[in-house]
Amino acid sequence: MRCKLLIAVTLMSTSGVGQTFTGSGGTIPDNGPSASFTIAVSGLPQATLDTTNFGVQRVCINAIHPWVSDLEFSLIAPDGTMIPLSIGNGGDGNNYTNTCFEQDAPQSITTASAPFTGTFRPQGQLGLVNNGQNGNGTWTLHVLDNYPFADAGSLLNWNITFSNDPAGYFAFVASDLPIVVINTNGQTIPNDPKIMADMGIIWNGPGVRNQITDPFDHYSGKIGIELRGASSSTFPKKSYGLETWDINGNSINVPLFGMPTENDWVLSAGYNDKSLLRNAFTYATSRAVGQYAPRTMHVDVVLNGAYIGVYTFCEKIKRDDGRVQIANLRPVDISGDELTGGYIIKVDKINGAGGDGWYSLLPPAYVPGGSDVFIQYEEPAADDIIPQQAAYIEAYVDSFETSLISPGASNPITGYPHFIDVTSFADHLLMTELVKNGDGLRISTFYYKDKNSNGGKLKAGPMWDYDISMGNGDYCNIWRTDGWVHRFGQVCGGDGNQVSGWWEALMNDAFFRQELRCRWETLKTGPLSVAALHARVDSIALHLDESQGFNFTVWPILGSYVWPNYYIAQDYVGEVDTLKWFLAERWAWMDGNLPVATGPCDFTNIADRSLQATELRAYFDQEDLVASWSQGTATGTLEVLDVQGRMVTTTTIPQGATTMRIPLRTAPPGVYLIRLREGTGGTRVVKAE
């Protein structure tokens, strides 16, 4: 739904060198939709607009609103060119009073304080409308309240001035980075669904300069594109999700920037991360540790003829051989081993009317009476997952959660090591804590599970969305180099998105603490050493040295506050240096505060872990469980336990036997543990499903 208001138009002359067209306004909707306030321009002395002789010089607005950072103002030209004027500025101040936007104004609107009065540089490049189009036509002021159902407001009036002193714009011509050129052919990019557009990529190879006039030598074809992000969608520099398509809108797999062939990609804006590298750095560090994280390439982006800045082009998290390498779970996979894997789940903000998934059995730590943690289906998606699959993964996670709070939680047979890949959880926690991700473990937090025949344990990761990390946050102690991310509830118990109780339960377990410290000791002299971390930052920053200047020319935010900045440097070098300082301080604090290892760095000292050479296998044949082992045993017992470690039945093994059939006709379907206890004292455990 789009609000459209008819307005009165007044034509005024400005000293004989220009014309100002003024229109009245109306209510700014507070229930979600945007408003379009139009002016019909005609009779310009020079119809063709350019940056030299005649074009748009100024746009002015008058608006009333008690919380102006809720508002977005953009100018839309007759040819569809859309220029951000002011997006989310002013905090909890009020009103735009005689507020004008000119490209050569000395102060940017981003550095001003509400109420806004006077002349400011817009957040976009006003001169981009002076692109040779015919200025006679319908001009639109697009207004959106991006925080609906809170505060109401109205546009009183607005005007646009054309003169022989037209606005210019930054001319992007070449870059050391690949250049991504997107043309939506006059369409506005929506939040959903994707629209078809054209994309060309100029990449002449590593170390070779790319010119905007070069041919599209890396990709030239159709894409589907949409906006992406929650809080980031309110920023003027938008992030986009895209798919590579054929002419009919079908997905096509392509190998971009040396990444494995795929069709799903993300253009991440990183508007509030003035280092432009937090995500790429974190993902690269995770891969260096040995855990998969999305691959990235920094690019310069031109959208509909306008340069819009440096972006991180990266892989989207999804199941694929080159990404999250788990089995493809098909709709027909509803039983046996086929049912047990191919899942990606996440803890994230709940979208729409409650999201799709289930609530965790464990409440968030340190938040008595707080909202339960909601676990969402990622792959298969909620619309695609089969009821049996949804029931299986929920039951599996429920069993893991129950094991965390049961006696003997670290027992590899009945405790959490049976359900999760402990190393992946330790690595994920170390990485999240090291960069002190403000959203860590509570938003954009992924887990995945393969089939039991492929290992089958739940793994933590991949890492995703680390813009608000390494000091880049002014709330909930994010800027501090001390304190634990997994104890977020101690600092911000009132936040609606809390850390799952999983992590505190794991940290309360001596064996997980041991594993965590041992992983740290292994990694801190290698990929997680301060020297390695700083070298990784410097390498990316050097790669961005030229294009960061382009980016902050069109987005002049260096030295000014952008939510949720805490440390604000005056230049790009200062932003990078602050990030490196934070990492060094954080590293030192973690090294001194992680639990101390008190034993060997493995789980071999846990009860029932002394596995012998005897190979044990188990499977279901109709309603019987069949167990077999590779060599006869003089004495011993065969035990069947449920996934909670409760004894179902136990049987004495006949001397010399190598196989047994155990009837389970009255037992409910599910996962069972088969434990062979040999007379020599050895124990062997397998699962049967």
Per-residue pLDDT at 351: 62
Per-residue pLDDT at 13: 37
Range from 190-194, 494-498, 564-568, 667-671 that averages highest in pLDDT: 564-568
Per-residue pLDDT at 628: 77
Contacts (Cβ under 8 Å, ≥6 apart) of 18: 57, 161, 162, 163, 164, 165
Neighbours of 316 (CB within 10 A): 17
CA 4 from centre of chain:
34
Residue 16 scores a pLDDT above 60? no
Per-residue pLDDT at 295: 98
Residue 302 scores a pLDDT above 60? yes
Per-residue pLDDT at 684: 55
Where does a domain end: 582, 606, 630? 606
Same domain, 75 and 184: no
Confidence of residue 688 (pLDDT cuts 50, 70, 90): low
Q: Is 93 domain-assigned?
A: yes
CA 608 from centre of chain:
40
| H or E element, residue 282 | helix 278-289
Q: Give the separation between CA 282 and CA 436, rounded to whole angstroms.
A: 11
Work out whether strand 296-303 and strand 179-183 pair parallel, antiparallel, or are unpaired: parallel
Give the amino acid at 304.
N
Same domain, 362 and 406: yes
Give the amino acid at 331.
P
Q: Which two tokens stand for residue 569?
A: 């440097």
Q: Is 611 domain-assigned?
A: no
Q: Is 417 domain-assigned?
A: yes
Q: Give the separation between CA 62 and CA 526, rounded to whole angstroms.
A: 57
Q: Give the separation between CA 143 and CA 160, rounded to whole angstroms.
A: 15
Tell me what percent of the residues of the chain surpass a pLDDT of 70.
90
Over range 274-292, report the average pLDDT.
Answer: 97
Confidence of residue 458 (pLDDT cuts 50, 70, 90): very high
Q: Is 218 domain-assigned?
A: yes
Residue 586 scores a pLDDT above 90? yes
Residue range of the domain that includes 503? 170-606
Q: Is 518 domain-assigned?
A: yes
Residue 56 scores a pLDDT above 60? yes
| H or E element, residue 542 | helix 530-543
Using an 8 Å Cβ cutoff, are 323 and 292 in contact? yes
Per-residue pLDDT at 635: 60
Residue 283 scores a pLDDT above 70? yes
Residue 605 scores a pLDDT above 50? no
Per-residue pLDDT at 213: 97
Same domain, 157 and 177: no
Q: Is 519 domain-assigned?
A: yes
> What secondary structure does DSSP assign to 148-215, as a single string?
TTT--EEEEEEEEEEESS--------EESS-EEEEE-TTPPPPSSS-EEEEEEEE---TT--EETTS-
Q: Please confirm whether the linkage preceding 668 is cis (ω < 30° from 0).
A: no
Where does a domain end: 163, 179, 212? 163
Identify the burial level of 18 via C-beta atoms within 10 angstroms of its C-beta, where 0-12 means exposed, 13-18 middle and 19 or more buried: buried
Residue 203 scores a pLDDT above 60? yes
Using an 8 Å Cβ cutoff, are 241 and 292 in contact? no
Same domain, 586 and 623: no
Over range 103-112, report the average pLDDT.
Answer: 90
Same domain, 154 and 237: no
**CATH of residue 653:** 2.60.40.3080
Residue 23 scores a pLDDT above 70? yes
Q: Give the separation between CA 670 and CA 660, rounded to whole angstroms.
A: 20
Using an 8 Å Cβ cutoff, are 51 and 169 in contact? yes
Give the amino acid at 478.
I
Same domain, 680 and 572: no
Per-residue pLDDT at 676: 73
How confident is the model over 253-272, as pLDDT tens digits? Answer: 999 999 999 999 999 999 99
Confidence of residue 643 (pLDDT cuts 50, 70, 90): low
Per-residue pLDDT at 8: 36
User: Taking all residues of the chain, what is their mean pLDDT, rounded to a whole number?
Assistant: 89
Same domain, 42 and 177: no
Confidence of residue 192 (pLDDT cuts 50, 70, 90): confident
Q: Which of 646, 651, 650, 643 is nearest to 672 (CA)?
A: 643
Q: Is 54 domain-assigned?
A: yes
Total number of domains in the chain: 3
**Rounded to a whole number, what is the largest CA-CA distance in the chain?**
110
How confident is the model over 127-140, as pLDDT tens digits? Answer: 999 999 999 999 99
Same domain, 421 and 538: yes
Report in angstroms the alpha-carbon separations of 310 from 192, 214, 228, 362, 576. Answer: 23, 19, 17, 41, 16
CA 144 from centre of chain:
24
Per-residue pLDDT at 551: 96
Work out whether strand 296-303 and strand 306-315 pair parallel, antiparallel, or are unpaired: antiparallel
Q: Give the separation between CA 447 and CA 431, rounded to whole angstroms.
A: 15
Per-residue pLDDT at 14: 38
Q: Give the separation between CA 512 and CA 461, rounded to whole angstroms.
A: 17
**CATH of residue 131:** 2.60.120.260
Residue 158 scores a pLDDT above 80? yes
Same domain, 175 and 244: yes
When mean pLDDT is compared across 369-378, 417-426, 435-444, the lowest value belongs to 369-378
Residue 333 scores a pLDDT above 80? yes
Where does a domain end: 142, 163, 184? 163
Same domain, 176 and 76: no
Same domain, 350 and 487: yes
Q: Is 493 domain-assigned?
A: yes
Per-residue pLDDT at 630: 65
Q: Please report, for the chain, how many H helices and E strands are present, in that order.
A: 9, 32
Per-residue pLDDT at 620: 72
Q: Which of 313, 314, 202, 310 is nearest to 547 (CA)?
A: 310
How confident is the model over 340-367, as pLDDT tens digits? Answer: 999 999 999 886 434 699 999 999 989 9
How confident is the model over 366-420, as pLDDT tens digits? Answer: 998 777 899 999 999 999 999 999 999 999 999 999 999 988 899 888 899 999 9
Identify the burial level of 226 via C-beta atoms within 10 angstroms of its C-beta, where 0-12 means exposed, 13-18 middle and 19 or more buried: middle
How confident is the model over 469-512, as pLDDT tens digits? Answer: 999 999 999 999 999 999 999 999 999 999 999 999 999 999 99
Same domain, 174 and 157: no
How confident is the model over 502-561, as pLDDT tens digits? Answer: 999 999 999 999 999 999 999 999 999 999 999 999 999 999 999 999 999 999 899 989
Per-residue pLDDT at 625: 79
Using an 8 Å Cβ cutoff, are 439 and 473 in contact? no
Report in angstroms the alpha-carbon separations of 544 from 217, 333, 548. Answer: 22, 46, 6
